[in-house]
Structure 1
Amino acid sequence: MTLKMVFISIIFVLSVTESSGFPRKMLYLNLDGKSKILLSWPILGAGIFALVSVVLSLFLIFEHLIVYYQPEEQKFLSSIILMVPVYAVESIIISLSPC
């Protein structure tokens, strides 16, 4: 029941933000004087979540390395956890690149 309510709430919020008259432009970055990258709210939100995931996953990796008692298991766990910040940084770079 609660999962259904969460899903309905997400659909409602997305439909309200899609139909609102709020301008989508947030700020322009001028990187080389020629190209301008439009930073919109979804890109900013993705950047914030990527930053949070990088910080939390690096914290978890360092915690595993501090108590490195089972190296055979923990090296594989650390490599799996390392996939999170790599993917997060890659997705932000791809979303900022001009199409």
Structure 2
Amino acid sequence: MKALCWEGVNKLSVEQVPDPELRNDQDIVVRLVAGTTCGSDLHLIGGYIPAMRAGDVIGHESVGEVVETGPAVRRHRVGDRVVVSSFVGCGRCW
């Protein structure tokens, strides 16, 4: 798939990256329909986050369609339209 990648301070590129895959029973894979970067991404783009490395994918606000779910997923099914939240918890703890 293609993704917006950080290549250095104020340098971005669209690159081919590996397709996402389920890593645990609660994961969902979403085919993005639209995505964007937001104000918090400006800190990443500007080099203010020292952990950034060339090739890191940025942009964490998006909408899309569920294409695969892990066996423990109960609230979503393949074909559901979803908004991806950049701040999400497991929903089981307080």
TM-score for both structures, normalised by structure 2: 0.20
Greater length-normalized contact order (CA 8 Å, ≥ 6 residues apart): 2
Q: Identify the structure with the greater strand proportion.
A: 2
TM-score for both structures, normalised by structure 1: 0.20
Q: Which has the larger radius of gyration?
A: 1
Q: Identify the structure with the greater helix proportion.
A: 1
